[in-house]
Chain A
Amino acid sequence: MKILVCIKQVPDMESRFKPDSAGVWYSDTDLAFRMNEYDEYAVEQAVQLKEQLGGEPEVVVLSVGPDRVVEALKKALAMGCDRAVQVQDPAAHLKDPWQIASAIAAYAKGENFNLIFTGLQSQDRGSAQVGVTLAEILGIASVTTIVGFEYADGSVTVRRELEGGLKARVQLKTPALVTCQLGLNVPRYPTLPNIMKAKKKEILTLPVGELLHEEARSVTASFYAPPKKSGGIVLEGDVAVQVDQLLDILRDKTTVLR
């Protein structure tokens, strides 16, 4: 069995974001990057499946982006993936979801993966398109938003999360792709021995130009901070003073304080 996990490297979401010089995405400077949170669940599920099947499946982890994404790939290798592929693209942020999916599909086509895991969406762009689009290009079944995963004899049974706490049970046959929702499992922390072991694992670099021959179907015209809602009071400074200020406001504006 061959498994592919697609991951993205994103900035810490608590960062302050500033537009880049072109004004179409964030400036990379002063940002700390990490693995997209949804993708950690995808990596974990792939590694759990490998363990369930006695280590037989080969788990390949792939990321599209500039050279910094190798750090995210190394983390996935330390979590238990077998080898990594960097689709090298310093301008990945200018690609639309269709192009990203097309580049991954061009790589995946010849590899005949039985199962593909992706995150539901990225934390920075949040299109939730790349996974499903990849499956459509490859002509394989796909299900999004999974919070439960079981595999037996070429058949995958998942729980899909719907709105309001409802879940749906869905079954599909491999080859298949699933997109992982937060809470699917508990992603492991790489241990020191596994980090050391991961240093010996292969990281293949493929220039995006060899894989991508599709034009963008959407283009970002501008990137900006949303206008602040006016009227909100901001309390800063000493905690004891803030407490008194807040209690004054609550007594004045609400009826709930006894």
Chain B
Amino acid sequence: MKTLLIAECREGKFLDTNYELFGFADKLGATSAMVLVGRQDDLPAFAGKLYLADAAKFGEYNPDLHKKLILATVDQEKPDYIVFGHTSYGWDLAPRVAAALKAPQLSEVVGVADGGFELPSCNMKMRRTVKPQGTPVLLTLQGGAFPVLKPGGTPQVVPLETAGEPGVNFLGYEPAVAKDVNLSKAEIIVSAGRGIGKPENVPAIAALAKALGGELGASRPVVDGGWVDHAHQVGTTGQTVSPKLYIACGISGAIQHLAGMKKSGFIVAINKDKDAPIGEVADVLVVADVMQFVPALTAKLGK
């Protein structure tokens, strides 16, 4: 079995998360070749074949040309699986390659199942086993679902070229907004999620954080809604944290949030939905109305 792993380069760097693709290939017991639109001076620790295109020439986000580069490689390698991370790069690019190859794509793979793959559904509350029809099969892997594996060695580089006009014009990156809140050093974080109900309830969550001597965190929906500033956001598009104690208040546990906090030392979740996916990572799940429980807990701490 043969996998073609599609690596991602961001701001000139080979991303460490690319090593999860090797972890997946290892789980399949497959041989691997890798495609990288990146830099000659930042190559993966991998002794196999590396198809390398120059990011200075083809850009870090240029889906039409990256698609062509991958298709040229598929032609040579004839892989069984073409594997991406389920990231802003992978979910953007994989369907383009799948459409060109008339091949099946399975998104956000979390596991390997008999004759197919496990995919999450319904906001991580449920799973599906899906069987692809035909080959090759394109897969995007959920971040953290497969172990990081650094094979080691120096790759055998095969230069990769293509020609053509890009369909979109990458203008540049906008740096992340400077964070005046550094959650990564906090020992205790108390985070507010949509389950708190309304913006007027944020101070009650902040009061618990203060009573514990911790910082206020937030999930994406309350930041998008303007209830809490983005500097407090925990998750893949916010900050990744690992405090000694993490208290999730009314947070259902979308994968993007879990990825940002699941390495916390001790996790308490307060949620009225006993089946919420946050329960999968929580050491203690308090099944309660968050706006009844949190003020009661804060009051008790004050005594």
Contacts of A219 in B (CB 8 A): 130-131, 133
Q: Looking at the assembled complex, report how far the CB atom of B95 sits from the nearest CB atom of chain A, in whole angstroms.
A: 4
Complex partner residue of A217 from B103, B107, B221, B252, CB under 8 angstroms: B103
In the complex, B33 has a CB within 8 A of chain A: no
Q: B residues within 8 A CB of A256? A: 187-188, 212, 244-245
B169 at the interface (CB under 8 A from A): yes
The interface residues of chain A lying within 8 Å CB-to-CB of B239 are 165
- Other-chain contact of A163, B107, B133, B236, B286 (Cβ < 8 Å): B236
- Could you tell me if A162 and B126 are in contact, using CB atoms closer than 8 angstroms? no
Please tell me if A127 contacts chain B, counting CB pairs below 8 Å. Answer: yes
In this complex, how many residues of chain A approach chain B with their Cβ under 8 Å: the count is: 79
Q: Is A125 among interface residues, defined by CB-CB distance under 8 A?
A: yes
Contacts of B221 in A (CB 8 A): 182
Instruction: Report the separation of the CA atoms of residues A224 and B266 in the bound assembly, to the nearest whole angstrom.
Output: 28
B125 near A17 with CB under 8 A, answer: yes
**Which residues of B have CB within 8 Å of A171?**
168-169, 171
Query: Which residue in B104, B265, B289 is a CB contact (below 8 Å) of A218?
Result: B104
Q: Are B288 and A166 in contact (CB under 8 A)?
A: no
How many of chain B's residues have a CB under 8 angstroms from any CB in A?
92
**Given that A171-B168, A182-B221 are known contacts, is A145 also in contact with B88, CB under 8 Å in the complex?**
yes
Which residues of B approach A to under 8 Å, CB–CB? Answer: 10-11, 61, 63-64, 87-88, 91-92, 94-96, 98-100, 102-108, 113, 115-116, 119-134, 167-177, 187-188, 212-213, 220-221, 223-224, 230, 236-239, 244-245, 252, 265-266, 268, 273-276, 279-289, 292-293, 296-297, 300-301
Name A residues whose Cβ lies closer than 8 Å to a Cβ of B.
11, 13-14, 16-17, 24, 26, 96-98, 121, 123-129, 132-133, 136-137, 141-145, 157, 159-172, 182-183, 215-226, 228-229, 231-236, 239-240, 242-244, 246-247, 249-250, 253-258
5 additional contacts, CB 8 Å, given A24-B128, A254-B244? A16-B275, A98-B104, A145-B88, A223-B121, A236-B288
